[in-house]
Amino acid sequence: MSQFISDITLHINEDTSHNERESLRDVLLDMNGVICADCHDEHPHLMVVAYDPDLVNSMEFISTMNTNGKHAQLVGL
């Protein structure tokens, strides 16, 4: 594991239920290199993901969302 941890915010385009967001979070958590994924009902379109950039690329999160029937973008600050 790298000594560096990155985090990104995903914006999920579709409206999702609490259970759908939890399922998407669980899919991301199963990815090699994902350390934490979190979403809150107060901001249903946003998900924060902490990951090891040596093990997973942030664009893989977009691909994973697409595979699961959702569209998402990376949110920059």
- Tens-place pLDDT, residues 15-43: 999 999 999 999 999 999 999 999 999 99
Residue 37 domain flag: yes
> Can you tell me whether residue 40 is helix, strand or coil?
strand
DSSP structural state of residue 63: H
Tell me what pLDDT residue 4 has. 87
Alpha-carbon distances, residue 26 vs 4, 11, 76, 77 (angstroms): 22, 16, 23, 25
Residue 63 domain flag: yes
What confidence category does residue 75 fall into, taking pLDDT thresholds of 50, 70 and 90?
very high
Tell me what pLDDT residue 2 has. 67
CATH number of 52's domain: 3.30.70.100
* Backbone region of residue 68 per phi and psi (left: phi > 0; alpha: psi in -120 to 50; beta: other values): alpha
pTM for the complete prediction? 0.90
Residue 1 domain flag: no
Question: How many structural domains does the chain have?
Answer: 1
